[in-house]
Amino acid sequence: MGDSLQVSEFGSTDRLGGFGSSTDRLANYHGSETAVTEKVTKSRKPLWFILGGIVSILAVAGVIVGVLVAKNVIHTSINSKSNLNDSPAASMAASASSLAATGPSPSQTQDSSPTRTSSKTTGTHTSTSSPTSTAPTCSTEKDIPTAFKGTYNDPTTWLDMTDFNCTFTSELVGNLSINGLNSTWDDSKQANPNVPALNKLWGSYSSNPIRAVNLGGWFSLEPFITPSLFDYDASLGIVDEYTLCVHLGPKQAAATLEKHYATFITEQDFIDIAAAGLSHVRIPFSYWAVTTYSGDPYVEGISWRYLLRAIEWARKHGIRVNLDLHAVPGSQNGWNHSGRSGKINWIIGTDGAANAQRSLDIHDQLSTFFAQDRYKNVVAFYGLVNEPGITIPQNQLADWTASAIKIVSGNGVAATVVFSEALRGLPAWQGNLQGYGDKLVIDVHEYVIFDPNMIVFDHTKKVSFVCSTFEGQIAASMDTSTGFGPTMVGEWSQADTDCAQWVNGVGSGARWTGNFSGTTTPYCPTGNSQCSCALADQPASSFSSDYKTFLLAFAEAQMSAYETGWGWFYWTWKTENAPLWSYQAGLQGGFMPPVAYKRDWTCTDKVPSFGSLPEYY
C-alpha cells in the first residue's frame, strides 16, 4: 500500500516512444507449457514383484508408523530418542525410499550453490502404489547434520507440520532449502470452471482477466492488518516489523512470527478464495525469508517454508501465484510495510548501491529456485519489488529493473515479471522497458483515500470517478502509444475513508478527520467538524444496507474498471478488524459479489442510489 498517489498522475503524456526491436527475451520461457502432473511410475523388473511384495507390507507398516511420527514425535523426539523411528519397519521403509527411481532431469534450473547435494528438482519419486513406496520417515534430531541442527532448516524444531514433508533434506536450489516440500505435485486442478487448470495455458490476460486477492500482512507485517501483533504501549515506539523484532529479541520474535505464519492464513483460506471465484493470489513476502544482513533484527528463513507451503496450497486448489517481494534491503519506500519505516536506503540513501546489489543477489537466488519445473505452472507472476519510493530517480529505477529482469529471465523463470509504476503514474512508463511482450507487466495500486483530492469525493463521485478516471488510466496504459503496455492492478480496496486503525501507520491520525501528519483540514465531503471516523470503528455487522449498497457498487466499479487491463488483486484477503480492507469480511457481510466473475453491475450502468447515506463517515 502506498499513500502518495497524486491526482497529477491522471494526465497522459503523448510522448512518441521508440519502442526498440521486440526481442521478446522473456517470451520463450513459457515454452511448451506441458502438463507437469509428473506422476512418474517406476517401471518394475520381474524380480521386484517378489521383493516388492515384502517391501510393500513393511512399507505399509512404515506408513502407519510414519503418520504417528508425523503427528506426535516431531517435538517430543527432540529429547527422547524415537524408538518408533528406529523400528525395523521404518528403517526398511527408509531404505526402500533410497531405491526410488530417478525422474526427469531438471530443465533450465541453474544453481550457484556449492552446498547443493542433488539435482533432482522435479517430480522425482515413486508413486504411492509402487512397491518401493516411500513411507514418511520423519527425521529426528539424530538425522540432522550438525550444520543444520537448531536452524530454521531443522524440521525437528518446526512449530507446525501440517502438509510439510517431515523428512530432512540438505538439498538446496539457489542456496534455498527445499525442506518441507514433497517430491511430487499435481497441476491438474482448476480454481473454477471459468479458468484453465494450472497445467493448461491461461491464454490472454486481456481477454480473461485476473480476479484475485493479496495475502497481505502474512509474511510482511502491517500493523493495520494485524493490530494484535502491535498492541504495545505507544512509548515503546513499535511501529513496524523492525521495531517489533528489536523489542522482542531474536528468540521471542521467531516464536511470535512463526505462530503468526502458522495461523493467520491456512488451507481453508485457499479453499474459500477459490470458492469466491478468484483465480490468483498475490503473496507479499520480505527479503528476510531468504537472508538477513549484519545488524538486521528480522527473523530469517522461517517465512520461507510457509511461503513454499502457501504455494502448494494454491496449487492444490488451482490458484495461480503472484510472488511479491514486498521488502528489500534498505527499504525501497521508507514505509512500515517495507519492514522499516523511515528512510529509503535502496538505490539512493545510505548504502543504497550496496542494497540495490543485495536485492539483485536475492533475485538471483529466488529466480533460480522458482525456475524449478515444479513452479512453472503455478507461479504465474514474479514481482521484482513493491512500490519503490517516488524519490528514487526513474532512470536509476529503470536500470535496476532491467538488471533484475535479465537475472530472473536468465535463470529461466516461466512467470511473467511484474514491476511497479513506483507511485509516479502510469504515463511515466510509456516507452520504457519495452521489448518483453507479455512477459513483463506494470503494476499500479489504486486507492482514493490517500490523496486529499480524491478522499473528499462523495460516495457517488467515488464510484463514477473509478469508472471514468481509473478506467481511463488503465486503458491508456494498456496502449503502447500512451502507456507502458500490459497493466495490472496489484492492490485496491473498498475503503472510502482513511479511518481504519493504523492504516496510516501506528499512532497516526486520519486525513478524513483532519489530524493526519500535521493536517488540520478534515478531508471528508462535508469538510467540517462533522467528519467522523465513528463508523470505521464499528464491525461490518453494523453497516446499514445503504452503506453495503455503496460498498458493493464501489467494489464492482473497480473490478469493472481494472478488467480493462489484465485484472486485479484486492488488498487484502483478511484483516483482524478492518472490514473495508478484507475481501473475506466483504463476502461474509454481503458487500462483495459472492462469485467474482458473476456480477450485477458494471461501469456502463448508472450509479445506484445510496439512499440517505451520510457523507461524513
Task: Tell me which residues are annotated as active site.
Answer: 387, 491
The only residue of 134, 372, 420, 572 in contact with ligand NAG, by rule CB under 6 A: 134
The only residue of 85, 109, 157, 184 in contact with ligand NAG, by rule CB under 6 A: 184
The only residue of 183, 401, 560, 572 in contact with ligand NAG, by rule CB under 6 A: 183
Q: CB of 552 within 8 A of CB of 605? A: no
Which C-beta is closer to ligand NAG: that of 485 or that of 505?
505
- Tell which residue, 526, 548, 578, has the closest CA to residue 223: 578
Query: How near is the Cβ of 125 to ligand NAG at its closest, in Å?
Result: 5
d(Cα 498, Cα 455) in Å, to the nearest integer? 8
The only residue of 36, 65, 73, 125 in contact with ligand NAG, by rule CB under 6 A: 125
Query: How near is the Cβ of 534 to ligand NAG at its closest, in Å?
Result: 9
Phi, psi of 322 (to 5 degrees): -110, 105
Q: Does 3 bind ligand NAG (CB under 6 A)?
A: yes
Q: Does 222 bind ligand NAG (CB under 6 A)?
A: yes
Query: How near is the Cβ of 17 to ligand NAG at its closest, in Å?
Result: 32
Mark residues 482-521: x for contact with ligand NAG by CB under 6 A, - for none: ---------------------xxx-xxx---x-x------
d(Cα 214, Cα 218) in Å, to the nearest integer? 10
Which C-beta is closer to ligand NAG: that of 138 or that of 553?
138
Count of residues of this chain found to bind ligand NAG when the rule CB under 6 A is applied: 31
Which C-beta is closer to ligand NAG: that of 172 or that of 607?
172
- Tell which residue, 145, 121, 131, has the closest CA to residue 93: 131
Residues 6+ apart with CB under 8 A from 477: 426, 427, 429, 442, 444, 483, 484, 485, 487, 565
C-alpha cell of residue 71: 503427528
Mark residues 139-178: x for contact with ligand NAG by CB under 6 A, - for none: ------------------------x-x-x-x-----x---
d(Cα 268, Cα 574) in Å, to the nearest integer? 12
Phi, psi of 336 (to 5 degrees): -55, -35
Which C-beta is closer to ligand NAG: that of 365 or that of 584?
365
Q: Does 357 bind ligand NAG (CB under 6 A)?
A: no
> What b/e readout covers 97-119, taking b as 16+ CB neighbours within 10 angstroms?
bebbeebeebebbebeeeebeee
Query: How near is the Cβ of 615 to ligand NAG at its closest, in Å?
Result: 17
Which C-beta is closer to ligand NAG: that of 230 or that of 484?
230
d(Cα 34, Cα 161) in Å, to the nearest integer? 31
The neighbour count for residue 163, using CB atoms within 10 Å, is 13
Q: Does 138 bind ligand NAG (CB under 6 A)?
A: no
Which C-beta is closer to ligand NAG: that of 14 or that of 537?
537
Give the length of the chain. Answer: 617
Sign of CA dihedral 224, 227, 230, 232: positive
C-alpha cell of residue 358: 543485495
Query: How near is the Cβ of 449 to ligand NAG at its closest, in Å?
Result: 9
Q: Does 387 bind ligand NAG (CB under 6 A)?
A: no
C-alpha cell of residue 486: 500490459
Q: Does 573 bind ligand NAG (CB under 6 A)?
A: no
- CB half-sphere exposure, 162, CA atoms < 13 A: 11
Residues 6+ apart with CB under 8 A from 196: 190, 202, 203
Which C-beta is closer to ligand NAG: that of 451 or that of 556?
451
Q: Does 336 bind ligand NAG (CB under 6 A)?
A: yes
Which C-beta is closer to ligand NAG: that of 172 or that of 404?
172
Site residues (vs ligand NAG, CB under 6 A): 1, 3, 113-114, 125, 134, 136, 163, 165, 167, 169, 175, 182-184, 222, 224, 312, 335-337, 341, 503-505, 507-509, 513, 515, 533
